[in-house]
Amino acid sequence: MIRLSSSFVRTLREDPADAEVASHRLLVRAGYIRRSAAGVYTWLPLGLKVLRKVEQIVREEQDAIGGQEVLFSALQPREPYEITGRWEDYGPNLFRLQDRKRDDYLLAPTHEEVFTLTVKDLFSSYKDLPTMLYQIQSKYRDEARPRAGLLRTREFIMKDAYSFDATDEGLDVSYEKQRGAYQRTFDRLGLPTVICRADAGAMGGSRSEEFLHPTPIGEDTFVVSDGGYAANVEAVTTLAPPALDDAMIAALPAMHVEDTPGASTIAALTDLSNRAFPGKGTITETGEWTRYEMLKHLVYLLTYPDGSTEPLVIALPGDREVDAKRLEAALAPAIATPFTEADFEKHTVLKKGYIGPEGLGLESESGIRYLVDPRVVPGSSWVAGAGEKDKHVYDLVFGRDFTADGTIEAAEVRDGDPAPDGSGPLHLTRGMEMGHIFQLGRKYAEALDLKVLDENGKAVVVTMGSYGIGVTRAVAAVAELLHDEKGLLWPRLLSPADVHIVATGKGREVFEEAERIAAELEARGLEVLYDDRPKVSPGVKFKDSELLGVPTSVVVGRSLAAGVVELRDRRTGDIREISPQEVVEAVVAEVRGA
């Protein structure tokens, strides 16, 4: 029994100054957590109870698919992360430190490397596989901007699982098992999630999906179509228009250079085209020129983790902007920064405002990498800079007049864009990443030489999956989803207690009866939170009870003299008067769902 009179719980009437979101505000005010440093939190007794319940649900679902729990240290040596490149790729997000001998260590953001090495240490045959290992443990990431309480922290508890298979088919099976376990986990946590195709990012690997919980405060943008397509915005692929065949391309008008004085922006170029060449546009039925046709060229300097740099030109339809997150995902681990004036001066082939494909590409004299939006398909016709001031090329046809080093998914995704699988227009939604599953493939096993002997005695590289759930974040997400203006609204499975007994008033009888009810409920196996504070007003106790958010409460107060106590439902606000003799059964029935 938790007695509020002696518990390490203090509620606050005021919102903490730094709280931006409801979960942060309420978890702090209700005394579940306290901030210890930027992005580092302390779990107070009630908060820890909720956290342990979330952990236990996650654990049970991992055990149910044959996951075996282990525990690795957060402190790990540099070497394996050096071998896979993550020591560098993680950049400033990694907490790095040295020991007394000046050897390098890190606080692990995830543990792919050391799980791989441990499996290598223990296993040697295909018969040992598949195996699925997991841990529930503190992770560290030096976020640039920790924010929103538990939603973006620098230390957080994560369930990270890793699968090891000898074959691609085996990996598919392991991946599907985790996918199912995640669906069941979030169902039990009461967190609706959308499974989105995701960009594998710095983890490498092939297939990857995120479990996004739709919420307006989510940091991720994702898209869904009515037909069921769902993807993180970084992972959306563009539905390209059909390409033309060679015969059709041959029938298109030849390219020609035109004077376009002062038309150094897409807007100016579109205006000028409509004034100077009215009705010649290639997209609209009326021949009106659109921004779409004006091929926009953007120039970046790429910086790789080893410090080397390279220029990059991206071309996309003129009506689209670049989406910074998609660009970042497409180029990772390189980081792209827009060209500066100084950069332009060093590359005179790039005439700002009049850049076109001429002279670009790895095979060209300039050697500048040139990537185009997927909508730039063979036979598509564009207007682009002619590489000199006040001149543009018209009827410039991809595949005939120019080529590129490849395509890039960097253009913004817009509400209404077609889903790549043809399942209808996309709707943009905000979400919070609750889980992420990856088919890593052989990247880590190859780097760290994890092989097993197959049926023919031949050494084969193991294929891996990696599966994460943010456990502390899940606590916050539930608090964010389930609260009202008065406080938290825990679901029964996660509530720090099954029932909250509130004794009000000063009478000895009230406290004795409340104590008896609390003891009986505890004897029935319920977790009881008992507000036994003397000299605290009923108003304060009710407010605290609402703030703490236990689903069911029993108020023993003035009406006890009339032979009744109150059974309250936190979510609906319903109050039932009931005799003290019947209240224990009634609470047990509520809690057990009878």
Interface with its own copies by CB under 8 A: which residues? 6-10, 31, 34, 36-37, 40-45, 48, 51, 66, 68-77, 92-93, 95-97, 99-100, 105, 107, 114, 118-119, 121-123, 131, 133, 138, 140, 142, 144, 154-155
Q: Which is nearer to its own copies, 4 or 584 (CB)?
A: 4
The minimum distance between CB 519 and its own copies, in angstroms, equals: 17
As a whole number of angstroms, the distance between CA 289 and CA 215 comes to: 39
Tokens describing residue 559: 């009406």
Contact call for residues 459 and 481 (beta carbons, < 8 A): no
Give least dist CB 130 to its own copies, A.
8
Minimum Å gap between C-beta 561 and its own copies is 28
* Alpha carbon distance 356, 441 (integer Å): 39
Task: Please name the helix (run of DSSP H) or strand (run of DSSP E) that holds residue 310, with its range, or none.
Answer: strand 309-316
- 460 vs 536 by CB, closer to its own copies: 536
Cβ 133 to its own copies, closest distance in Å? 6
Nearer to its own copies, 40 or 575 (CB): 40
Least Cβ distance, residue 308 to its own copies (angstroms)? 22
SS3 category, 288: coil
> What is the smallest separation between the CB atom of 180 and its own copies, expressed in angstroms?
19
β-bridge partners, 34: 42
Residue in the block written with tokens 């977790």: 527
Alpha-carbon distance 68 to 161, whole Å? 9
> In terms of CB distance, is 174 or 238 closer to its own copies?
174
Residue 49 vs 351, nearer CB to its own copies: 49
Of 588, 562, 589, the C-alpha closest to 577 is 562
Instruction: Say how far residue 245 (Cα) sits from the centre of its chain.
Output: 41
Using the minimum distance from each CB to its own copies, give the nearer residue, 6 or 572.
6
583, containing H or E segment: helix 583-592
> Among residues 242 and 534, whose Cβ is nearest to its own copies?
534
Query: Looking at beta carbons only, is 76 or 364 nearer to its own copies?
Result: 76
What is the phi/psi pair of residue 571, to 5°? -75, -50
Q: Which two tokens stand for residue 236?
A: 């959306």
Q: Least distance from C-beta 328 to its own copies, angstroms?
A: 18
Distance, in Å, from the CA atom of 460 to the CA atom of 449, rounded to the nearest integer, reads: 10
Minimum distance of its own copies from residue 63's CB (angstroms): 11
> What residues are paired with 221 via a beta bridge?
430
Question: In angstroms, rounded to a whole number, what is the distance separating the alpha carbons of residues 445 and 465?
Answer: 11
Burial environment of residue 584 by CB neighbours within 10 A (0 to 12, 13 to 18, 19 or more) = buried
Residue 592 CA to residue 594 CA, distance in Å, equals 6
Alpha helices in 365-487 (DSSP H): 443-447, 471-481
Give 582's DSSP letter.
T
Question: Which one, 9 or 266, has the nearer CB to its own copies?
Answer: 9
- Kindly state the smallest distance separating residue 501's Cβ from its own copies, in Å: 18
